[in-house]
A and B are shown apart, each in its own frame.
Chain A
Amino acid sequence: MAKVIIPTPLRKFTNNQASIDANGGTVKESIVSIADQFPELKKHIFEENGEIRKFVRIYLGDEDINVLDKENTKVSGESVISIIPAIAGGSL
């Protein structure tokens, strides 16, 4: 059971919860388990074919899952998964 940290732009889909405890033994299972709780979140993270969208990065601890075992990276009870979206704001 890993903790998933939700970035600000996506919190409106999680009743403003900043982090959610997820079920599952891998990164993908963890994210799918919270996406099932909050269906609106799903389309912001996954493409229709189930792949993680390219403007969202998923981290386990401080490491990009793309240099680990990608979505199949194993998680434990102490794991922290971060969803990192591209944000552009600044000067407005």
Chain B
Amino acid sequence: MNVETRHYAFLGLFVCVGLVMVIGLRPGVPVTADTQRMFAYIDSLPGGSTLMVSFDHEASSLPEIQPLALALLRHAFSKGHKLVGVAFLAEGTVIGYRLMQKAAAEYGRKYGQDYVYLGFRPQHVAAILTMAESVREAFPQDYLGHDYNEIECLRTVDSLGDVAAVISIADGSTTTYWMEYGQSPERLLVLAVVTAAMVTTYDPYLASGQMHAMVGGLRGAAEYERLINRSGGGERGMLAQSAAHFYVIAMIVVGNVVYFKARRKRAAS
């Protein structure tokens, strides 16, 4: 068995994260202004408002996306809002449906009346442009094959102008298309729930006001869970994440010390 230095580094990370998770400590997480803004918006909407939830992510980002999406869906369902789910990445289709089903069941919400899942459409630019004029045109049937006209919670939804906001749950750049192509003919309020890797991509849109609010990463999930007083994957993972970050910092320091010592030794010889 050929064990190299990197193997010890990986093993150390696993032990570090694993131990912290087994201990199960849950540190308090201060809520940032961005998360508070998202919470305040959904909280302040009148009950029964319609929100569109776009699952714009792939299966690989599920571990990070799931706590975020569930926290947001739980909040929306607890406030009695009607949710319309769509997906612009094929892999996210069934994930979105299952997450909506799970959150809806916890609050006794019924499919068709309180929420609906329209499913996947390719070519997200064309789909968003069509939905800006007619959601029915883009999705004549829902994910389960029901006719659009027969779905109760869609009776008040003709176009994107009829939804209070779009919540884009994304691990890539699809949220940008909602901001760019969903604005016509009326301004569409876009909220983003994104992986941590996408936060810096969307920060300029948040600063310019093109995006109303954004929650990102496991930390965002932990903050949102705190706001809705419901523990979840975000809160459970926060201490592990902090431990992993300290471990990475320690590895960087140790790596640099070893490198500079070796360089000095080489120079001396």
* A and B together in one complex: no
Query: Which chain B residues have a beta carbon within 8 Å of chain A's beta carbons?
Result: none
